[in-house]
Structures are given as structure tokens and as C-alpha cells.
Amino acid sequence: MSDHPHRFPDHAGQRVPEVSLRVRRNGEWATLTSDDLFAHKNVVVFSLPGAFTPTCSSTHLPRYNELAPAFKAAGIDAIVCASVNDPFVMEAWAKDQEAENVMLLPDGNGEFTRKMGLLVDKSDLNFGQRSWRYSMLVRDGVVEKMFIEPDQPGDPFVVSDADTMLAYLNPRAKKPDQVAILTREGCSFCAKAKRLLTEAGIAYAEVPLNHAVRSRVVGAITGAQTVPQVFINGRLIGNVEDLERHLKRAA
């Protein structure tokens, strides 16, 4: 049984549906079958109501993408995001989002979702038929575990998230650090800080600041007046010299 009472079937112990889906890859048409997706692989799948929608874009997809290294370390070969959208929309969403580690799968006709018993009517939002939100772990085409959102009004998002799935796979999994760096164009110290992060194998998000607001933004956020300023997991590390010391301690 699943963790929440609902009208949706839990497919744990069953094979995934046999489907053949048309997709877009690098501007060309291709066909993917269930075997292509799942045979001889450990795959995490999460499904959501629609591309470009708020929760899907701000939280659901980016967090799976961010935790991809931890999923890989836990033995996962691929992460698949399924949605009842056409291939062009999913291709565009992939380019728009933090999704380089996730395969976006267009279930344009709702065939896969319907066979999973998770197709719902969202006509009240002018969406038509869409997927209920869920995640599942599939090993060699067989569903091992499903996290299906509770049958409640709206669009609940409490159990199909990336952290819940990762905790199921490995409760002690090491999650990637969240790193951001404030920079300005032409700053040699910023370039050095980015190089240090890259050499340490640390992925980071760069926040370039324009001249008109740089000093006020840096001062308001960090109390300093110069860039770069590096943050790791919500903690201010500081400038390039502070970063060097931090990396040496962490080595």
C-alpha cells in the first residue's frame, strides 16, 4: 500500500506499461519505447501536471536535477520527468530549465499516464487531461516503490519530491553543496574564485552584478564592498582568499 489513501493505483511489484513515445532530440524526431527507458537500468521517474507551471518549474524539476549526482551515487542510471505535454513543449522546457541531468519525457497522448492509472481531468484549469503528481523507482522495468501525492484538492506536493526519493534509496546520502558566487564583469579575483571552485569539482551558480547596483547589493547581502563573494549552503564564505582557506580545510 502507498503512504496516503487515494484513488490511484500503486504499481509496486508490477512492470511499467509498454508504450512507444515520439520525442524531440536535438531538433529531430525519435521514438522511445519502454524497453529503451527501463530495460536493464535503475530509473527514477517523477511525473507532474505540466511544463512551465509554477511548482514544476520552481521546485520539482530543479531539485531532481540538482540531486542527480547523489542519485547516481545511489545506483540510479537515469532520472526521467514525465508530463502530458507535446514533444515541442518538453524540448523547450528542457532548454529553459535546470534540467541537464534529467530526461524530459513527453507523454503527449497521455498513454503512459493512462496505463499507470494516474491520468486526471484538470479541465477546471483549461489543462484537459494531465498526470497526477507522483514519483517511482523502477528497476529493470519493474516498479519497486511509488510515492503518489495524496488525493486532495488542488496540486499537493508532499511526497514525490527528490529528497523523499533519495532518502528512500539512501537515508545517509551526501547531497551536493549549493554554491553561489556574486561577481562582476572583468574581475580577475572573480575569475580566480570560479577557477578554484571548478578545480575542486564544485558546481556553482554565478550571479553577475552590474556596476550601477553592485556595491549596494554586495553590501546589503554580505556586509562587504567587493566581489567575489561566495556562499555555500546558505553560509557566506567570503572573498577569494576566504574561499582558498575554506577549500584547504575541506580537502
State the Cα angle at 165 between 77 and 144, rounded to 5°: 70
Rounded CA-CA distance 71/46 in Å is: 13
Rounded CA-CA distance 8/24 in Å is: 30
C-alpha closest to that of 79 among 98, 57, 105: 105
Q: Which burial class, exposed, middle or buried, applies to 1 when counting CB atoms under 10 A from its CB (0-12, 13-18, 19+)? A: exposed
Provide the angle, in degrees to the nearest 10, between the axes of the packed helices 240-250 and 188-199. 10
Active site residue 81: no
Cell of 202: 564544485
User: Of 56, 81, 187, 190, which one is the catalytic site residue?
Assistant: 56
State the Cα angle at 88 between 85 and 91, rounded to 5°: 95
In sequence order, which ranges of the chain are alpha helices (DSSP H)?
34-38, 54-55, 61-66, 68-73, 87-96, 111-115, 162-169, 188-199, 214-222, 240-250
Cell of 27: 531538433
Positions marked active-site: 56
